[in-house]
Amino acid sequence: MKVYEEFVDLAYEPSKNDLIALFKIEPRKEIKIAAGAVAAESSVGTWTKPRFLPKRIEKLKARVFEIRKKEKLIKIAYPIDLFEPGNLPQILSSIAGNVFGMKEVKALKLLDVRFPRKLVKSFKGPKFGIRGVRRLFRVYDRPLIGTIVKPKLGLNSEQHAKVALEAWLGGCDLVKDDENLTNQRFNQFEKRVRKTIKARDLAEKRTGEVKCYMPNITAEINEAIRRAKLVKELGGRYAMVDLITVGWGGLQTLKEALDDLELVIHAHRAMHAAMTRSRDFGISMLVIAKLSRMIGVDQLHTGTAGIGKMKKEETTKINEFLRSDWYSVRKVMPVASGGLHPGSLPALIKTIGIDAIYQFGGGIHGHPKGTKSGARAVRQALDAVLSGIDLEAYAKSHEELREALEKWKPVKFR
């Protein structure tokens, strides 16, 4: 349509206050028209021209300023005045709203967004971030080691706390709930948190190390805040939230409450693959990471770079962003989780580095001698890697690691 072509201006030079969106696009027919349709629908346009069109509307137009036909990539510049500061749902309703359903496109994926400084600074960002998390644990020279209580569902509160205690005594720094464990009848939230925090205190007393529990408070927002207050009252230091399923607006509200409570925010990305997995449709995990850092989570699941059970993705690029300077917004701690075991550690540290949290579920609890031995095996593997010693050589004098490697072979570098 001719009206859509008016939103394509390949001579336009974006200003520092423009939001820049990078899309991969599969046009129904002509890429220029499809690109213009996306820019129009996500800003001030529609399929036909209104009779009344104030002059200021022209200044609010989104403009397609780059089209790469061969790669099927387009860049669109959005004037900052299109967006309400501090309102992420509104921003996403614009750049990632109706555009995915337009008939002019066969497929569309939002790959990246460059947010202008003024828009980023309208959000609070992380309260703790990497520095705050390390300060909490008093650990500065190694990755933090965590686990997820397994089996993920079915244990009662006492069994849950017992597994957590074994993991902490074996050497884990953190223990978290699974993403789908909240307040089920067999393991009620309040009972679980009370018992598990008591186990944490016992583990700290026995080991002399700081230990933390990350209870999953995900629920309707008012209920999630009530649970967070309970966590704080009982001596907790963390709250875990499933950021996609709780919703962006909900996450913003929850962030305010958790900051007031001085609780570190551990963000799980459950359901992200519904948007990120397709190469041609949806929203990339990089964009979700930027949104999460802007709102202000302190830790974020970002993938295992293909080392564990999850699909290989752009983990390295995401982690680089989370740990980079970005308008003085605090840096976010990446979390690798999914199919990891002691033999994964050399590849993890080589690929992801030490400014990260490595979480081992089955790779700890599936150890032939149980959870405590599994956690010990992970810490032994970590000690070996940081000392530059081959895992199998180190295992000769460390029983738990030897038994782990007999079950799970070391992962080769990729």
> Could you give the residue numbers annotated as active site?
150, 268
* Cα distance between residue 257 and residue 216, in whole Å: 15
Phi-psi region of 174 (alpha: psi -120 to 50; beta: other; left: phi over 0): beta
User: What is the arrangement of strands in the sheet containing 333-337, beginning at the earlier edge strand?
Assistant: 212-214, 174-176, 144-148, 357-359, 333-337, 299-301, 264-268, 238-242
Edge-to-edge strand ranges of the sheet holding 73-78:
63-68, 73-78, 19-27, 105-114, 282-283
- Dihedral pair phi/psi, residue 242, rounded to 5°: -85, 100
**What stretches of 9-116 show up as alpha helix (H) in DSSP?**
31-41, 88-95
Residues 6+ apart with CB under 8 A from 281: 100, 107, 108, 109
Instruction: Report the distance separating Cα 7 and Cα 118, nearest Å.
Output: 24
Q: Which residues contact 249 (CB under 8 A, 6 or more apart)?
A: 88, 89
Alpha-carbon distance 328 to 315, whole Å? Answer: 22
Q: Do 83 and 62 meet the contact criterion of CB atoms below 8 Å apart?
A: no
151 preceded by a cis bond (ω within 30 of 0): yes
How many Å is the Cα radius of gyration of the chain? 24
Tokens representing residue 84 in the block: 């309400």
Q: Where are the beta strands (DSSP E) in 97-176?
A: 105-114, 144-148, 174-176
